[in-house]
Amino acid sequence: MKARKIAERQPDALVLGCDQVLEFKGKAWGKPETPEGAKRQLLQLRGQKHQLLSAVVLYHEAKPIWRHVGKARLTMHSFSDAWLDGYIHRNWDSIRHSAGAYLLEQEGIRLFSEVEGDYFTILGLPLLPLLGYLRVRGFIDT
Half-sphere exposure of 53 (CA within 13 A, CB side): 13
The whole-angstrom separation of Cα 33 and Cα 56 is 24
The whole-angstrom separation of Cα 91 and Cα 32 is 13
Catalytic status, residue 19: yes
**Which of 19, 85, 93, 141 is labelled catalytic?**
19
User: How far is residue 81 from each of residues 37, 44, 100, 108, measured CA to CA in Å?
Assistant: 14, 12, 17, 15
Pairing of strands 49-60, 63-76: antiparallel
Query: Could you list the active site residues?
Result: 19
